[in-house]
Amino acid sequence: MSGDLSPIDKAKFVAARRAAEFVEDGMRVGLGTGSTAAWLVRCLGERVREEGIRFRGVPTSTRTAELAREVGIEVVSLEEAGWLDLTIDGADEFDGELSLIKGGGGALLQEKIVATASDQMVVIADAAKSVETLGAFPLPVEVIPFGWTASQALLEEALVSMDVLGRQTTLRMNGDQPYHTDEGNYILDLHLSRIGNPRQMALILNQIPGVVENGLFIDICDKVVIGYGDGKVEVRDINAGTVDEDRVDFVEDDNLFRDV
């Protein structure tokens, strides 16, 4: 039940619940990955059950696809949907320009493809994800397994010329094995502490052989819905230049909180 949630989970929940209201009948909607996005999927499932809204969801990972089907959302592929009206996803960090670090959950590649194939991307996040400068959260970079150590060496060399504080890179692990993305790739996490020029970094990283995609989302996100543990939500719209405040009630719906 909602009373058992930590303040961070409450913040994630209220952001997700507010953003779930952006989905309208007939839309094609990108569904993000991660714990905040999982709340969104549950809230959308609730809207399908209670209000009978109908929309098609394009998941950004096998995890999200499973949950979406479980809660009654019609799941289609991006190819079937063609183009999306809206994508709603979490983030690991966002700054004042709504540049993002994503990929903490390992789904950055599908997330970036889906978000950029959408008219609008909305990020849902607890307030702790808001930063002045990106980089405290390790930046995920997806690389193909073939020759990954060579890609890592080239990445580290490229970092020397960039405006960052740290330069350590680590292979993401799953127990004693490398973590595999849904595409069967590896992830290198870049411990940079501070990214002075995220736009330049995003371009340079993707030129390194073996790099498939990086977790910097620049000029992709249109809106962020920031949740707080007390139920407050703030909606920042970068295009309109507006900041709106709202409140979301916690609900005691067993269906929503069943698997938490």
Binding segment for ligand 5RP among 105-113, 148-156, 165-173, 232-240 (CB under 6 A)?
105-113
Q: Which is nearer to ligand 5RP, 30 or 210 (CB)?
A: 30
Beta carbons of 210 and 222 less than 8 angstroms apart = no
Residue 143, interface with ligand 5RP (CB under 6 A)? no
89 is in an annotated binding site: yes
112 is in an annotated binding site: no
Answer for which of 9, 89, 189, 213 binds ligand 5RP (CB under 6 A) is: 89
The one-letter code for the residue type at 139 is L
C-alpha span between 212 and 109 (Å, rounded): 8
Interacting residue with ligand 5RP among 30, 45, 104, 138 (CB under 6 A): 104
The reply on whether position 108 binds ligand 5RP by CB under 6 A is: yes
**36 near ligand 5RP, rule: CB under 6 A:** yes
Q: Within the chain, where are the H helices?
A: 7-20, 35-51, 62-70, 78-81, 108-116, 148-159, 198-205, 254-257
Distance of CA 156 to the CA centre of its chain: 25
| Nearest distance in Å: CB 157, ligand 5RP | 26
Q: Do residues 7 and 59 make contact, with C-beta atoms less than 8 angstroms apart?
A: no
Radius of gyration of the chain (CA): 18
How many amino acids of this chain bind ligand 5RP (CB under 6 A)?
18
Residue 103 annotated as binding site: yes
Residue 142 is a binding residue for ligand 5RP (CB under 6 A): no
Query: Applying CB under 6 A, which of residues 32, 45, 138, 198 lies at the interface with ligand 5RP?
Result: 32
| Residues classed as catalytic | 111
Residue 175 annotated as part of some ligand binding site: no
| C-alpha span between 35 and 126 (Å, rounded) | 11
- The answer to whether 102 is annotated as binding is yes
With residue 246 as reference, give the H or E element that holds it: strand 242-247
CA–CA distance, 176 with 195 (Å, rounded to integer): 30
Q: Give the 3-state secondary structure of residue 178.
A: strand
Tell me which stretch binds ligand 5RP (CB under 6 A): 85-93, 192-200, 221-229, 235-243.
85-93
Look at residue 90 and give its three-state secondary structure.
coil
Strand partners, 29: 57, 86
Q: Which is nearer to ligand 5RP, 11 or 154 (CB)?
A: 11
28 binds ligand 5RP (CB under 6 A): no
166 marked as binding residue: no
Tokens found for residue 203: 């371009």
Q: Which residues bind ligand 5RP (CB under 6 A)?
A: 32-37, 89-92, 102-108, 111
Binding-site residues for substrate: 33-36, 89-92, 102-105, 129
